[in-house]
Structure 1
Amino acid sequence: MRVPSRSPGQRPGSSVTPAVRARRRVPGAPPGPAAAPDLDAYRAAVADLLVEVAALAGASCATARQVLIDERLREPAIAAVLDATPQGLIGARETLLLEMARYQPNARSSAADLTALVRIYLLSRIDVMWWRDTPGFRTDAQVDASPELVDLEWLRRRDLLRFRYTEQPRTLLGRGVRAARRRLWPDATPRTAGLRFRRARREVVALLNDVARELAASSPPATPPLWVTSLVRSAEHQHRLRRLGYAAMVPSGHCLGWAVDVEMTWFGRFGVRDTLAELLLARQRAGEINVVDEGQAWHLCLAPAVRRRLRRAYEAEMGV
C-alpha cells in the first residue's frame, strides 16, 4: 500500500506537519485549568488524520484504521476537544469506530466515503463541546412546543427573513406536487428534502439573516438569497434520518437547536459558491461559528460567544 508522501520536516510514519506539532502541548507540561481547546490546532490535526484515513480506505485495512484512530485521537490537540464533549474521549472514540464499522455509502448520505465520515464526525464535535450543557430536544413534540424556538413562517409572512427555505411535504399529494415541479424546473431550487421543522432559535435567525445580507451585498443582482436546508431537529428525527441512510451524527448540534445546514452546490450555478464559502469561513476564523463541509450543504453551528450579540440583533430587527 502506498502512503502519501510527506512534506519536508515530517518524521517517518507521521502525516503531522511541523507547524501542527509546534502547536501541541510539550510532553509533561500540565495544561492550564481554564484553558479552552485550541480549535485551530484541532482542525489542523483532524486534517492530518484525514490524509492517513484516506490512505487506509480499503476494506482490508479495518484493523490498521482502528490502530490509527486509537493513536491519533489521543494526540493533545484532538483529545482536548473530545474530552470536553459529553461523551468524553473514550466515548467519542467508540462512537467513531462504530460509525466507521457500520458505514455504507449511499446517495442520501453527505459522507461520500469513510474519509468524509470521519471529517464530519470529528469537526461536528466542536458543536457538542460548545453546547454540552444545553438540553437537547428529544422528541418532535418538544420541538413543536418549545418557547425557545420561533416559527419561521410567521416571520416570513411579515418579510422578516432574508433567507429562504422549503418545508418537507407531509402528504402524498404534496410529494407529488414537489416531484412535478422538479421535473418541470429542475434547477429552480436546490434538490433538498426541505425542513422537517420550520422552527429555529432566535439567535440562529439573526445569524442567517446577517449571512444572507452579506451574500446579497457580495453577489450579482440576480443571485437568489441564502438557502437553508436544515435547522433544529429532535433526537427522534435524527435517528429517523440515520435509519434512512443519512450521515446524521449523534449527539448533534441540530438536536440542541444551535446548528443549521445551508445549501452550497446550487449556488455554483450563479457563480457565488466560493463567495458564500469565504463568508462562512471568515466567520469561523473570527470564532463566530463552526463550519463543516458536507458537500452539497455546509453545516454551521453558532459559538456561545456570539449568542448574546445575536439575541440583541434579533430583538432589534424584529422590534421586540
Structure 2
Amino acid sequence: MRVPSRSSGPQPGPSVSSPAPARRSPASGRARVVPTAPPDLDAYRDAVAELLVEVGALADASSSRARQVLLDQRLREPAIAAVLDATPQGFIGARETLLLEMARYQPNERTSASDLTALVRIYLLSRIDVMWWRDTTTFLTDDQVDTHPDLVDLEWLRRRGLLAFRYQEQPATMLGRGVRAVRRKLRPDATPRTAGVKFRRTRREVVALLNDLARELARATPPATPPLWVTSLVRSAEHQYQLRRLGYAAMVPSGHCLGWAVDVEMAWFTRFGVRDTLAEILLARQAAGEINVIDEGQAWHVCVAPGARARLRSAYEAEMGA
C-alpha cells in the first residue's frame, strides 16, 4: 500500500478536547517550546514513510519489543514529534495511544488496517486531521450529529439535484438489509460493496469539496464513468467506538467525529479503469494543501484543511444560492 504524496499544508487550525494525557514536551524534564511555525507536513509524511519500512521489517509477533524500541526512537524525531505534540493528546498521549493500538491489534475482514504497518500508517497520518482541527468540538452522540446546526442534510440537497456525488444510507431495518442483499446478489458490481453511511449529514464546506471533486472526476474520465461515491461522512464518537468494537480501524480522536473528514470509494472504480485518475485528483489536492489523504485500501480517507475552509464555504453558498 503506497503512502499518499506529501504536502506542507496550511497552518494548523483549532483543537478538540480529549481525555488523553495532558500535552508535554517529548523530551521529559524540559519546558515545552511553542513553535514559531506550523509543523512541516512534507517532512512529517517523509518520516512516516521511512518509519513504515522499518515497522514492516519487524512484522512478526516475536518482534514486539523491537517495534516498541523503534517507535520510542523514531517518534521523537523532530519532524514527527512536532505534529504529535500539536495534537490534542500531545506527544506523550499520541505515542501511548499508538502503542496501545498496536498491542490490541487483531487482523480481521472488516478493518482497513490489513497489518500492523497499515495500522501505524493510518494512525500517524490521521493525526494531521486532529492537529488541524484541535479546537473543534467532537460530536459525541448520534443525536448531536442529527441535530447540529453546522451540518446539512444531504438527502434534502440530493432531491433538489444539488449533489454531484453519490452515497447510500445504511438500511435501518431487517427488511431493508434483506432488500440490499438481494440487489447485491442480482447486480453485484452495480454499487460499491459498502454498508453505506449511518449519517447523511455533513458540513457545508465538505459538500462543496465533494461536489468539486466529483466534477473534476467527471471531466477527467469517460462519459459512462459513475460519479464520485462517498462511503462515510460525519460520525459521532458513540458510533466511532461501536465501529472499534466491531473490529474496524476507527481511530480516536478522528476527523470524522469533528465533521471534517469523509471516506471516498476507490476500489470499485478499478472496474471502470479510473481508480488511478481519482487517486491523482485527490493527491493533487493534498499537494495543494487543501486536504489530507490516507490510503485505506477500498476507500481513501479525506479531511479538509483549515486553509481551504473559507473558499469552500463561499463555493457552497454560491452553488446553493445561500
TM-score by length of 1: 0.90
Task: Tell me the residue number matched to 1:8.
Answer: none
Distance (Å, rounded) in 2 between the aligned partners of 1:54 and 1:72: 14
Return the match for 1:297 from 293, 296, 299: 299
Task: Tell me the residue number matched to 2:42.
Answer: 40
TM-aligned CA deviation for residue 314 of structure 1: 0.0
Alignment deviations for residues 124-177 of structure 1 (CA, whole Å, 9 cap, x no partner): 000000000000100000000100000000000000000000000010000000
Runs of 4+ residues over 2 Å off in structure 1: 30-34
* Residues 134-149 of structure 1 mapped to structure 2, 5 A cutoff: 134-149=136-151
- 1:97 lines up with 2:99 in the alignment: yes
Distance (Å, rounded) in 1 between the aligned partners of 2:130 and 2:152: 22
Distance (Å, rounded) in 2 between the aligned partners of 1:94 and 1:36: 23
Task: Tell me the residue number matched to 1:236.
Answer: 238
How many residues are aligned here? 291
Letter matched to residue 158 of structure 1: R
TM-aligned CA deviation for residue 34 of structure 1: 2.3
TM-aligned CA deviation for residue 114 of structure 1: 0.3
Indicate the RMSD between aligned Cα atoms, in angstroms.
Answer: 1.0
Return the match for 2:265 from 251, 263, 270: 263
* Residues 198-213 of structure 1 mapped to structure 2, 5 A cutoff: 198-213=200-215
Instruction: Look at both structures and tell me which one has the larger radius of gyration over its CA atoms.
Output: 1
Return the match for 1:189 from 188, 191, 198: 191
- 1:312 lines up with 2:314 in the alignment: yes
- Structure 1 unpaired stretches of 5+: 1-29
- Structure 2 unpaired stretches of 5+: 1-31
TM-aligned CA deviation for residue 31 of structure 1: 7.9
Return the match for 2:286 from 266, 284, 287: 284
Distance (Å, rounded) in 2 between the aligned partners of 1:250 and 1:200: 19
Task: Tell me the residue number matched to 1:25.
Answer: none
SS of the equivalent of 1:208 reads helix
Distance (Å, rounded) in 2 between the aligned partners of 1:34 and 1:140: 38
TM-aligned CA deviation for residue 33 of structure 1: 3.4
Task: Tell me the residue number matched to 1:166.
Answer: 168
Task: Tell me the residue number matched to 1:73.
Answer: 75
TM-aligned CA deviation for residue 110 of structure 1: 0.3
Distance (Å, rounded) in 1 between the aligned partners of 2:54 and 2:73: 12
Distance (Å, rounded) in 2 between the aligned partners of 1:32 and 1:157: 48
Distance (Å, rounded) in 1 between the aligned partners of 2:33 and 2:222: 49
Letter matched to residue 200 of structure 1: T
Task: Tell me the residue number matched to 1:107.
Answer: 109
Q: Which one scores higher on RCO, CA 8 angstroms, separation ≥ 6?
A: 2
TM-aligned CA deviation for residue 32 of structure 1: 7.9
Distance (Å, rounded) in 2 between the aligned partners of 1:40 and 1:32: 20
TM-aligned CA deviation for residue 102 of structure 1: 0.4
